[in-house]
Amino acid sequence: MDNVDELIEIIKRDNDVKTTYFSGGLLNDVGEMCTRYGYGSVRLFLVGRKKDEQQTKVLLKILGLIEERKIPKEIGTLVFKKLNAIKSFKEGR
């Protein structure tokens, strides 16, 4: 299992991820920021954000998982943009 597969499995099993509604607009904004400026800018964008506080908390958690595994920012962008799909993805369907 490579780092991306492992990351996806961790995300799918995480209770915070499962129970949090993620706005498509916020995920797109985070993905775009990641593409253009990298992970540090994503963290800066999310830290202290009062609106969408639960989403922000979980996205920062996911950012930490991505950075721990040294996932390239192009793949990190996909993870953020496709987070709702990852949450609901079932193998074999």
User: For the segment 9-42, what is each residue's pLDDT rounded down to a tens digit?
Assistant: 999 999 999 999 999 999 999 999 999 999 999 9
Q: Give the mean model confidence (pLDDT) for residues 67-79.
A: 96
Task: Tell me the C-alpha distance between 12 and 15, whole Å.
Answer: 8
Is the model's pTM score more than 0.95? no
The rounded distance, in Å, linking the Cα atoms of 66 and 25 is 20
Cα-atom radius of gyration of the chain, to the nearest Å?
12
Cα separation, 4 vs 73, whole angstroms: 12
CA distance 19 to 74: 26
